[in-house]
Structure 1
Amino acid sequence: MALAACNAGADKNKQDQQLDSVKIVSLNGTISEIVAGLGLEKNIVGTDITSNYPESLKSKPKVGHNRRINAEGVLSLQPNIVVGMAKEMSPQLATQFKAAGIRLILFDQEFTAEGTKKLIHAVADSLHHTAKADSLASAFETQLAEAQKHINNPKKPKVLFIYARGTGTMMVGGTGTPVEKVIEMAGGVNAITEFEEYKPLTSEALVKANPDVLLLFDDGLESLGGIPGLLKVQGVAQTNAGKNKSVVTMPGEMLTSFGPRLGQAVTLLAEKIK
Structure 2
Amino acid sequence: MSLSLRSFAFAAVALPLALTAVPSFSQASEKGNPEASRIVAIGGTVTEVLYALGAGDRVIARDSTSSYPVEVLAKPDVGYMRALSSEGILSQKPDLILSEDGAGPADVIGIFKASEVPMVIIDTPPRADAISRKIEDIGAAVGLSEKAKALADDVEAGLAALKSDVAAVSTKKRVLFVLSTAGGRIMAAGKDTEAGAIIELAGGVNAAADVTGYKPLSDEAVISAAPDVVLTMQRGDHAATADEIFALPAFQSTPAASSRALISMDGLYLIGFGPRTPAAGRELASQLYPEVVKP
TM-score of Structure 1 vs Structure 2, range by shorter chain: 0.7 to 0.9
Q: Of the two structures, which has the highest relative contact order with CA contacts closer than 8 Å and spacing of 6 or more? A: 2
Instruction: Choose which of 43, 46, 60 in structure 2 pairs with 1:31.
Output: 46
Mean Cα displacement is larger for which, 170-179 or 40-49?
170-179
Q: What's the counterpart of residue 190 of structure 1?
A: 206
Instruction: Choose which of 154, 159, 171 in structure 2 pairs with 1:155.
Output: 171
Q: What's the offset of the Cα at 1:168?
A: 5.7
Q: What's the offset of the Cα at 1:171?
A: 0.4
Instruction: Choose which of 249, 256, 264 in structure 2 pairs with 1:249.
Output: 264
More helix by share: 1
1:187 maps to amino acid: G
Query: Given the two structures, how large is their TM-score scaled by the length of structure 2?
Result: 0.80
1:22 aligns with 2:37: yes
- Determine helix, strand or coil for the equivalent of 1:135: helix
Q: What's the counterpart of residue 247 of structure 2?
A: 232
| 4+ aligned runs moved over 3 Å, structure 1 | 18-21, 165-170, 220-224
Q: What's the offset of the Cα at 1:87?
A: 3.0
Task: After superposition, give the CA deviation of every residue in 1:250-274 in whole Å (9 maximum; x if it has no partner).
Answer: 1111121111111011101101112
Instruction: Choose which of 15, 39, 51 in structure 1 pairs with 2:66.
Output: 51
Distance 1:125 1:49, change over 3 A: same
Structural RMSD (CA): 2.1
Distance 1:222 1:176, change over 3 A: closer
Task: Answer yes or no: is the 8 Å Cα contact 1:221–1:230 preserved in 2.
Answer: no
Task: Answer yes or no: is the 8 Å Cα contact 2:101–2:123 preserved in 1.
Answer: yes
Task: Answer yes or no: is the 8 Å Cα contact 2:49–2:138 preserved in 1.
Answer: yes
The number of residue pairs the alignment matches comes to 256
Task: Answer yes or no: is the 8 Å Cα contact 2:64–2:78 preserved in 1.
Answer: yes
Mean Cα displacement is larger for which, 69-78 or 166-175?
166-175
Q: What's the offset of the Cα at 1:95?
A: 2.6
Following the alignment from structure 1 to structure 2, what is the Cα–Cα distance between the partners of residues 234 and 65?
33
Q: Please say which structure displays the higher CA radius of gyration.
A: 1
Q: What's the counterpart of residue 276 of structure 2?
A: 261
Q: What's the offset of the Cα at 1:158?
A: 0.4
Following the alignment from structure 1 to structure 2, what is the Cα–Cα distance between the partners of residues 144 and 167?
37
Following the alignment from structure 2 to structure 1, what is the Cα–Cα distance between the partners of residues 42 and 36?
20
Task: Answer yes or no: is the 8 Å Cα contact 2:128–2:197 preserved in 1.
Answer: no
Q: What's the counterpart of residue 212 of structure 1?
A: 228
1:180 aligns with 2:196: yes
2:44 maps to amino acid: G
Q: What's the counterpart of residue 164 of structure 1?
A: 180
- Determine helix, strand or coil for the equivalent of 1:138: helix
Following the alignment from structure 1 to structure 2, what is the Cα–Cα distance between the partners of residues 155 and 129?
43
Following the alignment from structure 1 to structure 2, what is the Cα–Cα distance between the partners of residues 194 and 21?
44
Q: Give unmatched runs, 5+ long, in structure 1.
A: 1-17
Q: What's the counterpart of residue 122 of structure 2?
A: 107
Instruction: Choose which of 92, 97, 109 in structure 2 pairs with 1:77.
Output: 92
1:122 aligns with 2:137: yes
% identical equivalent positions: 29
Q: What's the offset of the Cα at 1:169?
A: 5.8
Query: Given the two structures, how large is their TM-score scaled by the length of structure 1?
Result: 0.86
Q: What's the counterpart of residue 134 of structure 1?
A: 149
1:252 maps to amino acid: G
Task: After superposition, give the CA deviation of every residue in 1:194-252 in whole Å (9 maximum; x if it has no partner).
Answer: 2211211321111111110000111268744x111112222111111012101111111
Q: Give unmatched runs, 5+ long, in structure 2.
A: 1-32, 290-295
Distance 1:199 1:110, change over 3 A: closer
2:235 maps to amino acid: D
Q: What's the offset of the Cα at 1:104?
A: 0.9
Q: What's the counterpart of residue 60 of structure 1?
A: 75
Following the alignment from structure 2 to structure 1, what is the Cα–Cα distance between the partners of residues 64 and 238?
19
